[in-house]
Structure 1
Amino acid sequence: MDSVLHYADEHVFDALYAKLIPTSMAANATSEFAINWTRDNVLRQSLSIFIMVTLGGWFFYLAMASFSYYFVFDHETMDHPKFLKNQVRLEIECAVSAIPGFSLLTVPWFVGEVNGHSMLYDGVPQDLKGWLYLVASVPTFLFFTDFGIYWAHRWLHHPLLYKRLHKPHHKWIVPSPFASHAFHPVDGYMQSVPYHLYAYLVPMHKWLYVFMFVFVNFWTVMIHDGNFISHSHIINTTAHHAVHHLYFNYNYGQYFTLWDRLGNSHRQPTDEQYDANLRNDQKVMAKQARDAELIEAQDELKAKKKAQ
């Protein structure tokens, strides 16, 4: 993030802030604000990062989700009885309004990175060991963050948190790609914490970290895209995540099925998820809708009993 911020300052923010600071203030050499509003000012860094992450989040979300919606998503899915009226518009509104909240909560992590408090490093590896470590950082990052997301996601299904934070995302029982970022801001932030935490605990090349951060968002869109091609039992595919949205209490993982298997929350997709003819059959859709309603009613009953 430090390099990204450096280029943004050089090409955008230096000129922008110079225009925003009143001329009379800038001309007054004794003005503490004018003197201290420099690149290393934490408030300026926070504002700049918030602007970049918000605008970048909007752009990436709308671009990737739109591409997936028009070129990958199975539009027959929209005939499902659990696909809401005007759902795509509602998903977009939810995501666009939530992204600034994600960004604001994320700012302290990035400010820490910019000021050298993380384990991110720069430079080109100088030997084979360095290159091997760089390559190994990818599966290590995925393994660590998948573990963290699994538990964050599973805790968000606890009755005390689900209704307040995670239920807005499960409004999309049959999601489109635009549901990928349609969260409550705190929900989305909690599931992003493992990514930031990794950068503070494990050394990782900063540009690889930026790449993985982009990949994470791409993957989030992809598992909501309705493409059920992969039949993997190891990877948490789109079909696995479709099961999660339909039946709520299964497949909490992000990339792999490992933690769900160990946590006894794995549910392998069936032919009705993989076979397009079955998946879009009205009888199958109706049964899925009934099952989803039954599970939701049972969960609400359990929550009420725990609250008593």
Structure 2
Amino acid sequence: MAAASLFAICASALAMTAIVGLRYLAASGLFAWITARVRPGHYAGLDRQIRQEIGWSLLSAGIYGLPAGVVAWGWRERGWTRIYADVHAYPLWWLPASVLAYLLLHDTWFYWTHRWMHAPRVFRIAHAVHHASRPPTAWAAMSFHPIEALTGAVVIPALVFLVPIHVAALGVVLTIMTVMGITNHMGWELFPRALVHSRLGNWLITASHHQRHHESYRCNYGLYFRHWDHLCGTDRGLSSP
């Protein structure tokens, strides 16, 4: 590989690391500020934990940024991936369908790798870092040991080689991933009770569902949807954050 290409790849990886890190700080900071306004004192006494969450999350940003940067360079310079920019390259119905496909595939990967990380030895080595957030806060969404961060960092970069997606639809996927990752860890329920306790809510993961995972560990493993938990008998319902 030419030195110029290698330099460009490294620059792309660094840029994506910065983007992921700044996105984390901005989004988690926003929801932490909302928490302070809506639930004053909710994170009282958690300053040390929050500092650790931020430290692990910024390390995770580098792990997420590396494959994302390589893929972004390959897409721009070599035409790698199945990301497309012409909205008419595929039928318009594929725009929302591709978003749903990515979320379902990501959710499947997350559910099974998450269950694997609750095997005792793997938990002690890697996943215990995330569960050290007790209770979780808005800063905990990316608070991962590098092993766990790596399992999450490869998903979207792998999918863009397999499943066609418009660049704007990919932006929607990344936005949903960011918002749900943070709101599910805030320690209180952002979404209306009417939604959380509805038929639709029975299939969606919000803070009420994920909080139960942080309380009980051996249940509620999903990321976006509850269907794998329902199918595998690991759904233990809602907590009351």
One of 161, 174, 179 as aligned partner of 2:140: 179
Q: What is the letter of the counterpart of residue 264 of structure 1? A: G
In structure 1, the partner of 2:50 is: 88
Flag the 1:245–1:197 CA change in 2: closer, same or farther, 3 A. Answer: same
**1:261 and 2:233 equivalent?**
no
| Cα displacement (A) at 1:110 | 3.7
Q: Specify which of 216, 231, 235 is matched with residue 247 of structure 1.
A: 216
- 1:5-20 map, 5 Å: none
Q: Match of 1:202?
A: 163
| TM-score where L is the length of structure 1 | 0.68
Partner of 2:175: 214
- Report which of the two has the higher share of helix: 1
Which structure has the greater CA radius of gyration? 1
Unaligned runs of 5+ in 2: none
% identical equivalent positions: 25
> What residue is the counterpart of 1:104 in the other structure?
66
**CA distance in 1: counterparts of 2:208 and 2:133, whole angstroms:** 15
2:21 aligned residue: 58
Gaps of 5+ in 1: 1-32, 275-308
Aligned to 1:164: 125
Deviation at 1:200, TM superposition (A): 1.4
Q: Distance in 2 between matches of 1:112 and 1:261?
A: 39
CA offsets, 1:40-82, max 9 Å, x none?
x1x1232122221121122111111111111136354446xxx
Higher normalized contact order (CA 8 Å, seq sep 6+, divided by chain length): 2
Q: CA deviation at 1:105?
A: 4.8
TM-aligned CA distance change 1:157 to 1:45, over 3 Å? farther
Structure-1 separation of matches of 2:127 and 2:72: 25
* Distance in 1 of aligned mates of 2:58 and 2:17: 9
Deviations 1:12-56 (A, max 9, x none): xxxxxxxxxxxxxxxxxxxxx8xx52xxx1x12321222211211
> Partner of 1:237 in structure 2?
206
Cα RMSD after superposing both structures:
2.4
Cα drift, residue 222 of structure 1: 1.5
Code of the residue aligned with 1:92 in structure 2: it is: I
Pick closer, same or farther for the CA change 1:159–1:105 going to 2, 3 Å: farther
Is 1:135 matched with 2:96?
yes
Give 1:94 deviation, angstroms.
Answer: 2.1
